[in-house]
Amino acid sequence: MRAEGRESRNAITTLLYRYGECVDAADFAGLSNLFVQGRLLSSAAAEDKKGMKGPEIERFYAATNRVHEDGTLRTRHLCSNVIVEVDEDGDTATAQSCYVVFQATGKLPLQPIVAGRYNDRFENTNRTWHFAERVIHVDQLGELSEHLRFDLAKGNIRYDEVVPDRN
């Protein structure tokens, strides 16, 4: 593998992990910065093909996630089985990976609360990789009462109900 390929894969993998760090820390501004040039979609919101970008993500996550006394979500996102494919010209890439989210709170012991897959597209602009699109697929659900303010099991999440001032 060429040095450029390793550097690209490393930068892309770092973005994958940065997403989990931001969510776990309830750093929704940092999370939205990851998608200034890209969009975030969920398979649970099938009717919404637009997804969310930048500040919409910050508002959505702040409105739907339970931030605990320590200022975090009391979660740990683990990302695994990462497969990154960089195109030959080095300007676009895709990645697929799996995730599991663990949570422990004063009310609940440490346990997995959700697991699924990410399908990502990336672009390289001015020698910097960034998300172009992330689609979140939820495959398994556990106890989410200490994590989310809505029932993810119902599906058909309507972003506009949470982020009404969307453009």
Domain positions in the chain are 3-162
Tokens (6 digits) for 40: 């975030």
What pLDDT does residue 115 have? 98
What pLDDT does residue 91 have? 93
Q: What is the DSSP letter of 153?
A: G
What pLDDT does residue 47 have? 55
Tokens (6 digits) for 14: 């770092």
Profile the chain (167 residues) by mean pLDDT over runs of 10 residues: 77 98 98 96 70 91 95 98 90 97 97 98 95 95 92 72 60
Which CATH number does the domain 3-162 belong to among 3.30.360.10, 3.10.450.50, 3.20.190.10, 3.30.420.40? 3.10.450.50
What pLDDT does residue 167 have? 52
Distance CA 145, CA 25 (A): 18
